[in-house]
Amino acid sequence: MSLEITGKIIKILPEQRGQGKNGEWVKQEFVIETMDQYPKKACFSAWGDKTANIKQLLQGDEVTVSFNIESREYNERWYTDLRAWKIVKGTQNASDQNINDMPPINENDIPPEGEGEDLPF
């Protein structure tokens, strides 16, 4: 499952490093706040080389985050992680992209106005 959210960065947490059975790992978390009528906050984590994207961001930047949701159980408690796999500075609105993709209107595409043309109602 892949999701996308846009918001403003309100906090960038320190980078965390450790050693696991598969070698060294690096993780960094950041918190964004949506710009809805009722703003929501969400904490995302970036792992490995994705942490380099966070270093280019500042608190207050508007970002679009593509992420996956992962949950795991530990001692009969469930923990959910929002793992960012793509972070884009600025907003990427699908409707804005569609407007730019539309071809320009040609005058030949517009039908001529008919004289005395009455509507059936």
The pLDDT tens digits of the residues spanning 5-23 come to: 999 999 999 999 999 888 9
pTM: 0.69
50 near 27, Cβ under 8 Å?
Answer: no
User: For residue 90, what pLDDT is reported?
Assistant: 81
Cross-strand partners of 28:
46
Please tell me the distance from the alpha carbon of residue 31 to that of residue 118, in angstroms, as a whole number: 60
The pLDDT value given to residue 103: 65
When pLDDT is averaged across residues 94-110 and rounded to a whole number, the result is 56
| 3-class secondary structure, 91 | coil
Q: So where are the chain's domains?
A: 3-94
pLDDT of residue 20: 86
User: Tens digit of pLDDT for each residue in 21-72?
Assistant: 889 999 999 999 999 999 999 999 999 999 998 989 999 999 999 999 999 9
Where residue 102 falls among pLDDT bands split at 50, 70, 90? Answer: low
Closest residue by Cα to residue 87 from 110, 69, 62, 109: 62
Tell me which fold the domain 3-94 belongs to.
OB fold (Dihydrolipoamide Acetyltransferase, E2P) (2.40.50)
Q: Which residue matches tokens 């008919």?
A: 114
What does the CA dihedral 73, 7, 92, 96 come to, rounded to 10 degrees? 130
pLDDT band at 2 (very low <50, low <70, confident <90, very high): confident
